[in-house]
Structure 1
Amino acid sequence: MSVDLVLPCLNEAAALPWILERLPPGVRAIVVDNGSTDGSPDIAARLGATVVRCEVKGYGAACHAGLEAAEADVVAVMDADASLDPRQLIRVIAPVVADRADLVVGRRRAVSRGAWSWHLRLANLELSRRIRRRTGVSLHDLGPMRAARRTALLGLGLTDRRSGYPLETVVKAADAGWRIAEVEVDYLPRSGRSKVTGTPLGAARAVLDMSKVLAR
């Protein structure tokens, strides 16, 4: 099995060693640097990852740059903040490799009370409700660990370059008739504060970005 793992990265020097040493066999890391100032790209390269520079700011921009740089048939995406264990990638990748699903999303299960803040839980519940209403797909979490086939993902024509990118992926996949599945993954206390949803204001902005995707 050959899989490329896209890791959008903005100042994740503390988390990258833990992540990269836990990659399953056959998984190649593509660290997409989105303007780090803490030496993250150098750490990633030293630990054997492929490093891609993305000058356009935004989570979606980094994800898509990694997708375009990928070469494997199956591509996974995961946050680079140590909130998800790379060893559990197999759970997300396996249904795609076995052709049981076209897109698999990791449903986060917090391993401790502090792993998932109240404002992020609330935003996630609301987005899950909107996804069900818009697409008919019953997802409990728009999780940051997901996998699909590279060519198919590129064929969706994803255009969002901010935090609406994961939602656009699900919506366009549903509209295209993809088989979308959900599997459980552990959610750990992250390293540092989230650049997207680390505050109530950040979570609100993410919901706004995703609402724009749903309104298209």
Structure 2
Amino acid sequence: MPSTRSSSSDPAPASSAPPDLDCDLVLPCLDEAAALRRLLPLIPAGLRTIVVDNGSTDDTVAVARSLGATVVEESRPGYGAAVHAGVEAAEATYVAVMDGDGSFDPEDLLPLLAAVVAGRADLAVGRRRPVRRGIWPWHARLGNALVVRWMRWRIGMTVHDIAPMRVCRRQDLLDLGVEDRRFGYPAELLQRATTARWRCLEHDVAYHPRAEGTRSKVSGSVRGSLRAARDFRRVLA
């Protein structure tokens, strides 16, 4: 069960070694080599990065390994399958999940992690704030808004986005028993966390354009958004 106790620690001694954040970062990836070249060097020191390759046809795996990430290969297609494989492969007390397309600043994970470590939240999530117009296509934004509005009305969910960036305790997440292995995974996660009375905290995070040479599997087309909506509907039925 999620812990309700705050945690604290003494200041770390000065050292040139990176801090041990006791958190693994899972990046589900499908053809994200172009994004990873820029993203992986920006990961905060102390986070172990796990790139889960979900059937890429580009050099996602080679790029990830060359930049020091641990690579897990998940043959089952689907966002949820990739995330779950990464969470299972993680070893740290805490686990973070973020899209690997370069649309988020990984530094924004740190306040989310701090909130969970300090016991202020069981699940800390990012709420997308586009840095300029046109980044978040209308069909994806509308679908997200409708799902969130329904969940806030139906089950009393407190957050305003489908948690594209999130941090929690690894074992708590596994115990939550999220079953969807496609695009419905984040919606089911929030549904289960809400009904389990997890304390959810939300921070605004900057939402940037995807890296050049990559394409969103959801927001990149109306068809992708409709496919995600179908998955959301299935898990929320």
The structure with the larger Rg is: 2
Matched residue pairs, number?
215
Which residue does the alignment assign to 2:218? 196
**Aligned partner letter, 2:95:** V
Q: 2: CA distance between counterparts of 1:195 and 1:205? A: 9
Which residue does the alignment assign to 1:146? 166
Aligned: 1:63 with 2:83:
yes
Q: 2: CA distance between counterparts of 1:134 and 1:43? A: 43
Q: 1: CA distance between counterparts of 2:64 and 2:227? A: 29
Asked if 2 retains the 8 angstrom alpha-carbon contact of 1:197 and 1:206, the reply is no
Question: Over residues 22-55 of structure 1, what are the superposed CA-to-partner deviations in whole Å (9 max), with x where a residue is unaligned?
Answer: 1112111100000111110111011000000001
Structure 1 residue runs of 4 or more that deviate by more than 4 Å after TM superposition? none
Q: Once the 2 structures are TM-superposed, how far is the Cα of residue 114 of structure 1 from its aligned partner?
A: 2.2
Mark the runs of 5 or more structure 2 residues left unpaired by the alignment: 1-20
Q: Once the 2 structures are TM-superposed, how far is the Cα of residue 204 of structure 1 from its aligned partner?
A: 1.4
Matches within 5 A, 1:173-188: 173-188=193-208
Q: 2: CA distance between counterparts of 1:143 and 1:173? A: 12
Which residue does the alignment assign to 1:42? 62
For 2:178, which of 158, 161, 172 is the aligned residue? 158
| Corresponding residue SS for 1:198 | coil
Q: 2: CA distance between counterparts of 1:92 and 1:135? A: 23
Matches within 5 A, 1:23-172: 23-172=43-192
Q: 2: CA distance between counterparts of 1:134 and 1:105? A: 20
TM-score by length of 2: 0.88
- Percentage of matched positions with identical amino acids: 56
| Corresponding residue SS for 2:223 | helix
Q: 2: CA distance between counterparts of 1:84 and 1:103? A: 18
Question: Over residues 32-83 of structure 1, what are the superposed CA-to-partner deviations in whole Å (9 max), with x where a residue is unaligned?
Answer: 0001111101110110000000010000000000000000111000000000
TM-score by length of 1: 0.97
Q: 1: CA distance between counterparts of 2:66 and 2:53? A: 14
Q: Once the 2 structures are TM-superposed, how far is the Cα of residue 90 of structure 1 from its aligned partner?
A: 0.8
